[in-house]
Amino acid sequence: MATVKELMSLDGRVSVVTGGATGLGLQMATGLAEAGSHIVVCSRKLENCEQAAHELEKCGVMALAIAADITKPDQVEAVKAATLKKFGRVDVLVNNAGRAWVAPPEEMPLERWQQIMDLNITAPFICAQAFGREMIKARRGKIINIASVAGLIGRNPKAYNSVVYSTSKGALVQFTRDLAIKWAQYNIHVNCVCPGFFVTPINQKLFERGAEQILREIPLARTGGADDLKGIAVLLASDASNFITGAIIPVDGGTVAW
């Protein structure tokens, strides 16, 4: 029987975090590194990845910085090749990269709709397929999809008005459930985290404009903090979650329970 510390340890594991150079991705990457996992950070800007990797290495692990557009299968394959070359394995994939476009549904440009869908749902499929093939060979793996409470409930347009974001995150929730069933036979665990409102550089202005309304919809009456996603990321990446798959877990201050 393993101890809780042993179950939660990620010593020697290798985790790939898309969009891991900033914001929530970096928070989760830091949590995984603090638990002992080596980290592959990938996003579009190499400078940001290198800076994040430098900080992550202070946790006593190795970190690899790679610039990639994960909507492009060839670039995802390059990330996988670099990961295997450096570490020889991949244990965890965190599908975190994503973005939104705020506009009323009647004014949403089709081009922006397609861009958001490409990054928020097609890219997680591309990444899961590429890294999943290695996990199937190893007969083990952890995939953590980062959706949103916006994928679970309708949102008040006064607080957040992005129907494409909600749609893409809802698709990611269902992708998680079905992929978990498809790959359970390979001992690959696929779960989904649905963050509530976390203030990041991307949505800082949105929060400033609508803070009162946003906080009114959160029972804990605060936004997510700098450590609030670390624990769930480590849990789902570790052996402590070996009997959890297909789970959709809100980390939202009670928003969807309101």
Catalytic residues: 165
Cβ distance 20 to 41 under 8 Å?
Answer: yes
Cβ distance 69 to 46 under 8 Å?
Answer: no
Q: Which amino acid is at 114?
A: Q
SS3 content of the chain, % helix, strand, coil (to 5): 50, 15, 35
Question: How distant, in Å, are the alpha carbons of 136, 144, 229 from that of 234?
Answer: 21, 10, 9
Question: How distant, in Å, are the alpha carbons of 13, 21, 153, 156, 160 from that of 213?
Answer: 41, 29, 16, 9, 10
Burial 198-225 (b: 16+ CB within 10 A, else e): bbbeebeebbeebeeebbebbeeeebbe
Rg value, the chain, Cα? 17
Q: What is the residue whose two structure tokens read 């940001």?
A: 48
d(CA 164, CA 67): 26
Cβ distance 188 to 136 under 8 Å?
Answer: yes
221: left (phi over 0), alpha (psi -120 to 50) or beta: left
